[in-house]
Structures are given as structure tokens and as C-alpha cells.
Amino acid sequence: MDKVRTGINGFDELVYGGIVRGNSVLIEGVPGAGKTTFGIEFVYRGITQFNEPGVIITCEELPESIYRDALNFGWNLQSLEKADKLRILCTSPEVLANAEINLVEEIVNEVGAKRIVFDSISHFRNIVDNPLALRKTVYSFCSGLRRLGLTSFLVKEREINRTLSRLAGLEYEEVLGRPLQDFLNGSRTGFSKLLQTLSTGKEFQDLKP
């Protein structure tokens, strides 16, 4: 099985060597849990450690804000853009959900991207309020990413209504709220219990901290 190493310190050990190539990974948590940072690091490490160009899509922040926040971790994203290893796209969920607009495909082909992070998939709820239509929209979007050969991290705000988290047929590993914050703070206790490969329906076995 071909796996993509994230390059995130300690994380690849928890998922037995990396993420299955071409899968879409849902990063879900409460505000401030570190979801966006986690996704950006996935793209950054891919470029700097594995020579895998990447794309960051955002519906919230302007590129300037992402540049500034990334520099706090020593990640110079602007230099990677100038080297044609990275593209940051600020757009709307309406554009992303429109199958006739190939904006993502154009950007992916422009840099030869292998990884992508989308912040956040929650915005699809703003344009689709029917649960079945929402499922179809997200499934179509993820299928498009797979067709482009991308391994993707999809950020989502934690909600009481877990509709997006129970999408049948999607393949992703799920990382939830507080455990993600614990992981980013250096604790692995209980983290692996919340990792689930939906493509096989099997849960990862517990790992000792």
C-alpha cells in the first residue's frame, strides 16, 4: 500500500507510516485546536522534505495572514510560492462546488501539486442546506481531488450536528478536537483511539504514549 509520510513530528508513527496516497483526511476540532496549522504543516513538510508541491485553499483568511502566521513556526511560504512549489488560493465555496469551474485543477497542474489542504469544508454548509445534497457536494469535491492524484487534508469546525463527519463512502482518517490539541502539545495519550480508517471500517489499535 502506497503511503504518504506527512513529515509532522510523531504523527506518522501514529498512523503506521503515513496516510494512504490519494485519501482525503478530515481534520475536525473546536476553534483554536490547531487544525489549520496542522494542515499547513502537512503541505509545508511535503514540499521541504519530500519534494511534493502543494496547494492551500482558504475561504476565510487572506494569503497575507497565512504567510504571517506560518512565519511564527519558521515556515516561509512566500519563498515556496516564488519557487513554484506552492500555491495559496483564497476563494468561495460556490466556486469550489461548481463542477464547471476547473480553478483547482489549473492551480494543481501549474505547480504539479501532490498535496492539498482546504480550510474549511464547513463552508459548504453555507451554500447547501439539504443533508443529501451536502453529502453529494462533499463527495464530488473529494472525488475530484482524488482524480487529480492529491492527498488532501480537509479542515472542519467541530459541530453538534455531525452530518459532514458521517459521510458514507468517503475515505478519511478523522482527528477530533481536544486530542489534536493534545498531540500538538506533545501528548499522544488516547490520541490513536480517535483515528479511524473509514475505507476499511477498522480502527487503529491503541498505541502506548
Q: What is the pLDDT of residues 26-81, one digit of tens each?
A: 998 888 889 999 999 999 999 999 999 999 999 888 999 999 999 999 999 999 99
Q: Per-residue confidence at 163, pLDDT binned at 50, 70, 90?
A: very low
Q: How many CB atoms lie within 10 A of CB 39?
A: 26
Q: Which grid cell is 69?
A: 502566521
With cell 510523531, the residue in question is 10
C-alpha cell at 173: 482518517
- Collapsing DSSP to helix, strand or coil, 13 comes out as helix
Q: What is the pLDDT of residues 166-175, one digit of tens each?
A: 443 333 333 3
Residue 81's SS3 state is helix
Q: Which domains does the chain have, with CATH numbers?
A: 3-203 (3.40.50.300)
- Torsion over CA: 95, 99, 100, 103 (sign): positive
Rounded-to-integer distance, Cα 137 and Cα 171, Å: 15
On average, the pLDDT of the chain sits at: 79
Query: Per-residue pLDDT tens for 79-131?
Result: 999 999 999 999 988 888 776 568 899 999 999 999 999 998 888 888 887 88
